[in-house]
Structure 1
Amino acid sequence: MKKVLLITIILLNTVVFAQKGAKIEFKDKDNTIDYGTVNKEDDDGVRVFVFTNTGDEPLVITNVQSTCGCTVPSKPTEPIAPGKTGQISVKYNMHTGPIRKTITVESNAVNVEEGRIALKIKGEVIEKPVVNLLEKKKTSPMMQ
């Protein structure tokens, strides 16, 4: 009797956890892209999140939105077939200072709660120091 009960529990768990449908898996660790420290003048602020549909049905990204207007995401317009990759581009407007933004992706993925997943960008934007070649260099009193 105990063996039958154990086999029934194992089979029930297998059926419950074997989800059918589209599944989304992002390449970046913790779904985060780190800009690092970047110069405002040298970087266009565009980064790309690459993902794969690891499910058995087409993955449809229905909406992608940012926490503020300084970060503009763009989503794929066509469904992503099983086994194929897609991308979500994010353009940050490169305001000087720290970057800490979240992008919410809504989809038909069955492996994330309610089909929603949060992507994050982080880093720091600095301005390139201005070097004035005409300015006289200061010398220390020790060098005189």
Structure 2
Amino acid sequence: MKRKSMMLLVAGLIISSLVMAYPLAAFEWAQTTKQFGKIPKGKPVTAEFRYTNAGTTPLLIARATGSCGCTGVEYDKEPLLPGQSAVIKATFNAAVVGPFAKSVTVESNGDSGLVVLRLEGEVTE
């Protein structure tokens, strides 16, 4: 029984050290929120969210989607090597007057999994 317990303990320690040592891709964002202030109705605005792969393995964005049909998203579909930078562009179609708070959800193999980017402001006549 002691031998079996010792073997399980050693196996657990080995697995734990492998999981902790496994290199990950990691986002490093210049900003995650863009404040537009007041913008005129009918004039789309675009935010650029610059990021760097601060990890040790290639970073791959699986999907980046806007919170509604009024927010379009452009992003690189190729893996980003460690140390390299890229931009996610989010364009909001300012069609309705009033305050707005839109989001872009970014799914990746990064250590944070999901990242939510925000666009905020107010559409005026």
TM-score (norm 2): 0.77
Deviating beyond 2 angstroms after TM superposition, the runs of 4 or more aligned structure 1 residues are 14-19
What percent identity do the matched residue pairs reach? Answer: 35
The within-5 A match list for 1:72-111 is 72-95=72-95, 96-109=97-110, 111=111
Larger gyration radius, structure 1 or structure 2:
1
Alignment match, 1:26: 29
> For 1:36 and 1:16, how far apart are their aligned partners in 2?
44
Q: Which amino acid aligns with 2:72?
A: V
Q: Give the match for residue 123 of structure 2.
A: 125
Aligned residues: 109
Are 2:47 and 1:47 aligned? yes
Partner residue in 1 for 2:5? none
Cα displacement (A) at 1:81 = 1.1
Q: CA RMSD in A?
A: 2.1
Structure having the higher strand fraction is: 2
- Tell me which amino acid in the other structure corresponds to 1:54: A
Q: Deviations over 1:25-78 (max 9, x none)?
A: 1111xx11111112236x531111111100011110110111110111112121
Q: Give the gaps of 5 or more residues in structure 1.
A: 1-13, 128-144
Structure 1 residues 19, 125: closer, same or farther in 2, change over 3 A? Answer: farther
TM-score (norm 1): 0.68
How far apart, CA to CA, are the structure 1 residues paired with 2:115 and 2:53?
A: 14
- Gaps spanning 5+ residues in structure 2: where? 1-16
Letter in 1 for 2:116: A
- Partner in structure 1 of residue 11 of structure 2: none
The one-letter amino acid paired with 1:71 is T
